[in-house]
Amino acid sequence: MDNCIFCKIANGEIPAATLYEDEEFRVILDLGPASKGHALILPKTHAANIFELSDEMAAKAMILAKKMATVLTEALKCDGFNIVQNNGECAGQTVFHFHIHLIPRYQNDNVGITWVPGNLTDEDKEEILSKVRAILK
C-alpha cells in the first residue's frame, strides 16, 4: 500500500522507536501513548483490519502480543495490561493498517479503556444466539 503510514513504518521507510522486529512484524512505541510503554504491533504486510488478516498472521500476532506484554511488564513493572485492537472508524480505528495496542497499566493511572455496562435483554440474547448460530452451522 503506497500511502499507508504503517506499511512505511513497519518496513523501515519511516523511522520509529522499535522494540522488536522480525521478518513479519515490527513492534514500535506509540507516538501518542495512553500510558508509559504503550506500543503497537505492526505486521509488515498490509491488512486494513483483522478481517483482512490471514489466520496464520492473526495467530502469530497474538503470540507476539503475549510475548511483548510479558517483556513490557517485566521491564516497566506495570501493574496490569490491556491488549486492544480496533476495527473500523466507529470502533476507534484511525490508521487502517491492522495493529495491536499493547497498553501497560499502572495503579490509578486513569487510562480510559472502559464502558458503561448495559443490560443483556432476553430479546437481544435470543436474536444474537440465533443469528450467530445460523452462520456458524
What residues are labeled active site?
Answer: 99
Nearer to ligand 5GP, 9 or 57 (CB): 9
Nearest approach in angstroms of CB 132 to ligand 5GP is 25
Burial class (CB in 10 A: 0-12, 13-18, 19+), 54: exposed
Closest CA relative to residue 61, chosen from 75, 81, 40: 40
Nearest approach in angstroms of CB 125 to ligand 5GP is 29
Q: Which of 50, 58, 71, 95 binds ligand 5GP (CB under 6 A)?
A: 95
Which one of Zn ion, ligand 5GP, none is in contact with 48 (Cβ closer than 5 to 8 A by kind)? Answer: none
25: β partners: 43
Which one of Zn ion, ligand 5GP, none is in contact with 80 (Cβ closer than 5 to 8 A by kind)? Answer: none
d(CA 80, CA 69): 10
Does 4 bind Zn ion (CB under 5 A)? Our answer is: yes
Q: Are 135 and 117 in contact (CB under 8 A)?
A: no
Does 30 bind ligand 5GP (CB under 6 A)? Our answer is: yes
